[in-house]
A and B are shown apart, each in its own frame.
Chain A
Amino acid sequence: MKINGVAIEDTFAEAFTMRVARLLITGQTLGWAKEAAVKLTGFATSVIGCKCEAGIERELPDGETPDGRPGVSVLFLTMDKASLPEQLIVRVGQTVLTCPTTACFDGLPDAPDRLPVGKALRVFGDGFQASKVIGGKRYWRIPVMEGEFLIEETFGMLKGVGGGNFLILARDADAALAAAEAAVAAMTGAPGVILPFPGGVVRSGSKVGSKRYSNMIATTNDAFDPTLKAVTQSQLPEVVNSVLEIVLDGTDGPSIEAAMRAGIRAACRPGVLTITAGNYGGKLGPHHFYLRKILG
């Protein structure tokens, strides 16, 4: 299969079930809402080192937010149920509570699993906090020096999908980067999907474990490192000199598929030779995204 002359490998991306929450952060301006969201989702690229993965899903116009102010939607994922509230409480407390003008709302109101994020953060009010029930939902008003920080008492948690991916094999680094940027642009704002890595792109794809260091849970994916072609069992064709990876997390499989479809099509441009995907032979993750099926 080829798109714009770029070969689509007959393989699949292997992804995992994760726990996901969606936060709606609003502010007096979109700029302040984004400021909080960027800080909130900082250092949240991979569960390997960050214990969570997070990113901005999309910007929300005034009419789509609970309080009628501009905002952003953020997805937050962890590998297990227990660590999601832990991460959210710490991060929202340090990045959204602290950010001028912001408020924080649940973006998964129908999810039966509830995380007591606002309930935990309320104690910052030192007894001066107050709650309000509006439309059946409880909100906490936490007094702060600026005025009040408003946060919903609980946030919904669903089973999500983490680790959707595809790799861009290119003739050189410039072509790989241009293709990756085009893919990210095509996927930005896709509903139910985030790209947790810097700019949505990963240059250091990893393999499980290490050939040399027993304490390492992940090390460089030497099979796809162009500089190691001559000394390792490389999976790269001779003409490939740079590889970049796009990693996608989301609320569900169809959302990931739709984003991958848009991203891969956008990445098929001059200088790109092959699009492939990372997997573990299908043994580790229950979600398999077959590239040719998605693009067919």
Chain B
Amino acid sequence: MSDAVTLTLATQPTHTLVADCIAADRFAGLGATAIAALPVVHGGRPATLGEFFRVRGERASVVRIEGDCTRIDGIGTGMVEGELMIDGSVGRDLGLAMSGGRIDVRGNAGANAGGAPAGAARGMTGGEIVVRGSVGDEAGARMRRGLLVVTGDGGRGMGKGMIAGTVVLFGNAGPGTGRFLKRGSIVALGEVERPATFRYACTYRPPHVALLLRYLGSRCRLDVAAAQVTGRYERYSGDLAELGKGELLRWVGA
């Protein structure tokens, strides 16, 4: 048993590599050989994780990934617990339908981070994803619970169809952010375009946002400005074309 399992990208995939076997809780019961033998799909063909990653450590629910994983999809799929720290960018479907644990990406993430598998009703149902960069389209789409934090910009349709949970976006939001939101919160600290089906409620200091941002500052060591913690936010209720129990909270300054 090790303190952590470290995966170092040794061979850059030439095609998209679907590595949905990488999840912190899954590695907790596996030795290094078994981890290396986990199945992946490379360009539509079956392969093993060991063909691309050098594996150090075993039987640990803390997993570190080193290397540029932009071409690697599905990291953290279905994760239930544990910690997954990625030192580099990742492809699409990060933390797909995860239900617990924590994923921390020091780079960008592709589309559908924290989202739902194709055809599924729910995206992530718990846990935390922190992306210290930007995300692709539809990050947090249909998420049911949990927390998605993006320090960079969001793509199109961020939080689309969210059922609940929280998205915090430090950068600018892409078009269609929050559309079809049923419940849940999107906290926008940068520019955001309000969907037409959201209605302005008030400008106030939401106490849970202060608590959340302080948590992100202390737990995740994110650079949160005091004015964001104690500042005022415009609250837009929506999506009124859906349940209308969600909210878009737009920071408007101290």
- Give the interface of A toward B (CB within 8 A): 66-69, 103, 130, 132-135, 139, 141, 147-150
**B207 contacts the other chain (CB 8 A):** yes
Contacts A130-B183, A135-B219 given: A141-B208 contact, CB under 8 Å? yes
A134 touches B206 (CB 8 A): no
**B185 contacts the other chain (CB 8 A):** yes
A147: B residues at CB distance < 8 A = 202, 204-207
B207 touches A68 (CB 8 A): no
Q: How far is the CB of B165 from the nearest CB of chain A, in Å?
A: 9
**B214 contacts the other chain (CB 8 A):** yes
12 inter-chain pairs at a CB distance below 8 angstroms, sorted by A residue, are A68-B214, A68-B229, A132-B166, A133-B146, A134-B212, A134-B215, A141-B206, A147-B205, A148-B204, A148-B206, A148-B207, A149-B207
What is the interface of chain A mostly: helix, strand, loop, or mixed?
strand
B229: A residues at CB distance < 8 A = 68
Complex Cα gap A150–B205 (Å):
12
A66: B residues at CB distance < 8 A = 211, 214
Please tell me which one of the listed residues B202, B211, B214, B230 contacts residue A150 in the complex, with CB atoms under 8 A apart. B211
B166: A residues at CB distance < 8 A = 132
Complex Cα gap A148–B211 (Å):
13
Among B166, B208, B210, B215, which residue has the most Cβ atoms of chain A within 10 A?
Answer: B208
A130 touches B245 (CB 8 A): yes
A132: B residues at CB distance < 8 A = 166, 185, 208, 212
**B145 contacts the other chain (CB 8 A):** yes
Number of interface residues of B (CB under 8 A): 22
B211: A residues at CB distance < 8 A = 66-67, 134, 139, 150
In the complex, which residue of chain A has the Cβ closest to the Cβ of B218? A135
Q: How far is the CB of B92 from the nearest CB of chain A, in Å?
A: 26
A67: B residues at CB distance < 8 A = 207, 210-211, 214
**Residues 125-145 of B at the A interface (beta carbon under 8 Å):** 126, 145
B208 touches A134 (CB 8 A): yes
- Chain B, residues 167-210, CB within 8 Å of chain A (1/0): the string is 00000000000000001010000000000000000101111101
Complex Cα gap A50–B205 (Å):
36
In the complex, which residue of chain A has the Cβ closest to the Cβ of B126? A133
B207 touches A150 (CB 8 A): yes
Q: How far is the CB of A106 from the nearest CB of chain B, in Å?
A: 13
Q: How far is the CB of A153 from the nearest CB of chain B, in Å?
A: 12
B230: A residues at CB distance < 8 A = 68
Complex Cα gap A150–B204 (Å):
14
A141: B residues at CB distance < 8 A = 206-208
Complex Cα gap A245–B1 (Å):
59
Complex Cα gap A68–B208 (Å):
12
Q: How far is the CB of B233 from the nearest CB of chain A, in Å?
A: 10
A149: B residues at CB distance < 8 A = 207
Complex Cα gap A245–B230 (Å):
44
Closest 7 CB pairs of A and B: A150-B207, A147-B204, A132-B208, A135-B215, A67-B211, A103-B207, A134-B212
In the complex, which residue of chain B has the Cβ closest to the Cβ of A68? B214
Complex Cα gap A69–B229 (Å):
11
A130: B residues at CB distance < 8 A = 183, 185, 245
Complex Cα gap A245–B71 (Å):
74
Contacts A68-B229, A130-B245, A132-B166 given: A150-B145 contact, CB under 8 Å? no
Q: How far is the CB of A68 from the nearest CB of chain B, in Å?
A: 5
Q: How far is the CB of A221 from the nearest CB of chain B, in Å?
A: 46
A68: B residues at CB distance < 8 A = 210, 214, 229-230
Complex Cα gap A234–B183 (Å):
69
Complex Cα gap A149–B206 (Å):
9
B206: A residues at CB distance < 8 A = 141, 147-148
In the complex, which residue of chain A has the Cβ closest to the Cβ of B166? A132
Complex Cα gap A210–B211 (Å):
52
Complex Cα gap A148–B202 (Å):
12
A150: B residues at CB distance < 8 A = 207-208, 211
Among B204, B212, B245, which residue has the most Cβ atoms of chain A within 10 A?
Answer: B212
A134: B residues at CB distance < 8 A = 147, 208, 211-212, 215
A139 touches B208 (CB 8 A): yes
Q: How far is the CB of B173 from the nearest CB of chain A, in Å?
A: 20
In the complex, which residue of chain A has the Cβ closest to the Cβ of B226? A68
B147: A residues at CB distance < 8 A = 133-134
In the complex, which residue of chain B has the Cβ closest to the Cβ of A131? B164
Among A69, A135, A141, A149, which residue has the most Cβ atoms of chain B within 10 A?
Answer: A135
Complex Cα gap A27–B41 (Å):
54
Among A66, A67, A69, A130, which residue has the most Cβ atoms of chain B within 10 A?
Answer: A67
Complex Cα gap A147–B202 (Å):
9
In the complex, which residue of chain B has the Cβ closest to the Cβ of A151? B207
Given A103-B207, A141-B207, A148-B206, 5 other A-B contacts at CB below 8 A?
A68-B210, A68-B229, A134-B211, A147-B202, A147-B205
